[in-house]
Structure 1
Amino acid sequence: MSIEIKNVEKSFGGFKALKNISLDIGSGELAALLGPSGCGKTTLLRIIAGLEAPDSGSILFHGEDATDRHIRDRQVGFVFQHYALFRHMTVFENIAFGLRVRPRRQRPPEREIRLKVNDLLKLVQLDWLADRYPGQLSGGQRQRIALARALAVEPKVLLLDEPFGALDAKVRKDLRRWLRRLHDELHVTSVFVTHDQEEALEVADRVVVLNEGRIEQIGTPDQVYEHPATPFVYQFLGDVNLFHGRVHDGHARIGETDPEPADSPEQPESAVFYVRPHEIEILRDRGVGTIAARINDIRPLGATVRIELERIDGRGAVEVELTRDQFARKNFREGEQVHLQPKRLRTFDARVKPADPLEAANL
């Protein structure tokens, strides 16, 4: 089932949570609403579900206006961050609950309910826990049961509000990969809310980045990461270094050894450039476009090594990320003076030509 969100606005007192939001989610798509706390992502999810009403705008399911439709008539399944399982019911009874509380005419026979619940338990790979109670399960197991319960009513739309937010890092990674595989099998139109950039980029077909009640960018994980539309998106989707440099004749200049073109009537103007930590090379020799810096800290982090440096010109700290192999070949030491060379610059300044050799472009 496709979802169309048209010009939706929502306020709570004097706080405007959503500001003219329009968004189309295709049938069978898995979309992530990504953004910091207070950006409006959960409010938007609750409006799609029917748990909140918009002040203006409309929600359409498969082309039909559902804005005023009651939540029970929207055919949505909802999975909350903290599971919301009934503690006094077994796992089996929790999953069967949505089917058993249907009006008599719509309620399946008990035999059909049992078959359905057993199939769902197998789907989420927890059929051996049918007789346990929620308090006897791990966090990851409870979340999978909550998802099975949402799927029991055969929703046309599955909505997940920070579904893995209460779990530890290892379980989160395992569950989000499992959710991606499950979605590929079921193809239920799904929308999930998260503030975890890695989670959104790994799981979703498309990512909707929100900030202060507005959509900053919509695109595939590759599109929003490789081609961020705004400075906010760039900085929110991973660590970034900011370099204050100059624009001269349409080209980026950030290093102290950058030559100034001769006979150019244009005066250099200041600009801000963005570079991710893994897009900076550390050199021992000074070169064109390099920046002198001193290594303050070296910190191995699993497969990578994070190096923190201080610019010699006093313009702040820089963070560089190397693979273990790169670091082993260079064998840098704390206190060593080196030179930094960005391999890839990005800017949102329209004065910079896309043809700049360092790929400083208006992206």
Structure 2
Amino acid sequence: MSIEIKNVEKSFGRFKALKNISLDIASGELVALLGPSGCGKTTLLRIIAGLEVPDTGSILFHGEDATHRHVRDRQVGFVFQHYALFRHMTVFENIAFGLRVRPRAKRPPESVIRKRVHDLLNLVQLDWLADRYPDQLSGGQRQRIALARALAVEPQVLLLDEPFGALDAKVRKDLRRWLRRLHDELHVTSVFVTHDQEEALEVADRVVVLNEGRIEQIGAPHEVYDHPATPFVYQFLGDVNLFHGRVHDGHVRIGDAEVELAGGQDHPESAVFYVRPHEIEILRDRSAGTIAAKINDIRPLGATVRIELERADGRGMVEVELTRDRFANKGFREGESVYLQPKRLRTFNHNSVSENTIGSGQFIAS
């Protein structure tokens, strides 16, 4: 089922949670609503579900206006962060609940309910837990049962509100991969809320980045990460270093690094340039376009090593990320004086994004 969100606004007292939100979600698509706390993502999800009514704007399901349709008539399945399972019911009874409480005319026969529940338990790979109670399950198992319960009523739309937020990192990573495989099998139109950038980028077909009640960017995961539309998106989707530079006579200077800009580019005299930690080289020898620095801290993080450096010109700290193998080959030490060479710079000017590769002399607008 496709979903159309048209010019939706919502306020709570003086606080404006959503500001003119418009979004189309294709049938069978898995979309992530990503943003910090208070950005409006959960409010938007609740409006889609029918748990909240927008002040203005409309919600259409498959072309039909559902703005004021009751939640029970929307064919929506909802999965909450804290499972919301009935503690006094077994796993089997929890999943069957939505089917058994239907009006008598719409209620399936008990034999159909039992088959449906066992099919769902097999789907979430927990058929052996049918007679257990929620308190006897792990967090990951409870969330899979909550998802099975949401699917039991055969929803046209599946809504998930921070579904893995209460779980530890390892279980969260396993479950989001499992959710992606499950979605590829079922093709239910799905919208999930998260503040976890990695989760959104790994699971979703498209990511909708929200900030202060507005949509900052919509796109495929690789698009929003590689081509952020605004400074907010750039900084929210991973760590970033900020370099303050000056532009003069077609060149940008950041410390000792100077890069030629292609003709015709309109830039202010001073600008902020954005560089991700993995887009910076650490060199032992000074060369053109490098910035002197000293290594303050070296911290191995699994497959990568994070290095914190202090610029020699006193203009702040820089964070660099190297692969474990590259770090081992270089053998950098704390206290060592080195030189930094950004491989790519981005700046935001007049609502556009510009990108430059150090040493190429070519300025690319994207």
Shorter-chain TM band: over 0.9
Which residue is equivalent to 1:331? 331
Which residue is equivalent to 1:322? 322
1:348 alignment partner, SS class: strand
Which residue is equivalent to 1:94? 94
- In 2: Cα distance, 1:161 partner to 1:17 partner: 16
Change (3 A) 1:119 1:220: same
Which residue is equivalent to 2:152? 152
For the 8 Å contact 1:21–1:215, the answer to whether it is kept is yes
Counterparts of 1:118-157 in structure 2 under 5 Å? 118-157=118-157
Change (3 A) 1:12 1:359: farther
For the 8 Å contact 1:347–1:362, the answer to whether it is kept is no
1:347 alignment partner, SS class: strand
1:257 deviates by 4.9
Which residue is equivalent to 1:175? 175
Which residue is equivalent to 1:52? 52
Which residue is equivalent to 1:28? 28
Name the aligned partner's letter for residue 6 of structure 2. Answer: K
For the 8 Å contact 1:6–1:23, the answer to whether it is kept is yes
Which residue is equivalent to 1:114? 114
1:300 alignment partner, SS class: strand
- In 1: Cα distance, 2:259 partner to 2:169 partner: 47
- In 1: Cα distance, 2:23 partner to 2:60 partner: 11
Change (3 A) 1:117 1:250: farther
- In 2: Cα distance, 1:267 partner to 1:60 partner: 43
2:77 alignment partner, SS class: strand
1:252 deviates by 3.3
- In 1: Cα distance, 2:228 partner to 2:297 partner: 30
CA-to-aligned-CA distance 1:324-347 (integer Å, 9 cap, x gap): 111011101100010000011111
1:256 deviates by 1.3
- In 2: Cα distance, 1:360 partner to 1:241 partner: 20
1:260 deviates by 8.3
Name stretches of at least 5 consecutive residues in structure 1 with no aligned partner: none
Change (3 A) 1:133 1:232: same
RMSD across aligned C-alpha pairs, in angstroms? 1.9
Compute the TM-score of the two structures, normalised by the length of structure 2: 0.95
Change (3 A) 1:145 1:26: same
For the 8 Å contact 1:346–1:360, the answer to whether it is kept is no
- In 1: Cα distance, 2:237 partner to 2:340 partner: 23
For the 8 Å contact 1:33–1:194, the answer to whether it is kept is yes
1:308 equivalenced with 2:308 (yes/no)? yes
Range with bigger deviation, 243-252 or 208-217: 243-252
- In 2: Cα distance, 1:111 partner to 1:101 partner: 15
2:104 alignment partner, SS class: coil
For the 8 Å contact 2:252–2:258, the answer to whether it is kept is no
Which residue is equivalent to 1:222? 222
Name the aligned partner's letter for residue 221 of structure 1. Answer: P
Which residue is equivalent to 2:40? 40
Which residue is equivalent to 2:67? 67
Which residue is equivalent to 1:341? 341
Change (3 A) 1:278 1:150: same
State the identity %: 85
1:246 deviates by 1.8
1:255 deviates by 3.7
Change (3 A) 1:63 1:81: same
Which residue is equivalent to 2:241? 241
Which residue is equivalent to 1:12? 12
- In 2: Cα distance, 1:22 partner to 1:205 partner: 18
1:253 deviates by 2.8
1:289 deviates by 1.1
For the 8 Å contact 1:240–1:276, the answer to whether it is kept is yes
CA-to-aligned-CA distance 1:297-355 (integer Å, 9 cap, x gap): 00011110000000000000000000011101110110001000001111112599767
For the 8 Å contact 1:345–1:360, the answer to whether it is kept is no
Change (3 A) 1:267 1:239: closer
Which residue is equivalent to 1:196? 196
Name the aligned partner's letter for residue 204 of structure 1. Answer: A
For the 8 Å contact 2:347–2:354, the answer to whether it is kept is no
For the 8 Å contact 1:280–1:342, the answer to whether it is kept is yes
Counterparts of 1:275-290 in structure 2 under 5 Å? 275-290=275-290
Change (3 A) 1:355 1:305: closer
For the 8 Å contact 1:242–1:272, the answer to whether it is kept is yes
For the 8 Å contact 2:82–2:166, the answer to whether it is kept is yes
Change (3 A) 1:65 1:242: same
1:83 alignment partner, SS class: coil
- In 2: Cα distance, 1:335 partner to 1:256 partner: 21
For the 8 Å contact 1:345–1:358, the answer to whether it is kept is no
Name stretches of at least 5 consecutive residues in structure 2 with no aligned partner: none
Change (3 A) 1:94 1:358: farther
Name the aligned partner's letter for residue 27 of structure 2. Answer: S
- In 2: Cα distance, 1:135 partner to 1:358 partner: 62
The list of structure 1 runs, each at least 4 consecutive aligned residues, that deviate by more than 6 angstroms after superposition, is none
Change (3 A) 1:139 1:269: same
Which residue is equivalent to 1:270? 270
Change (3 A) 1:19 1:268: closer
- In 1: Cα distance, 2:226 partner to 2:97 partner: 44
Change (3 A) 1:313 1:129: same
For the 8 Å contact 2:292–2:339, the answer to whether it is kept is yes
Which residue is equivalent to 2:184? 184
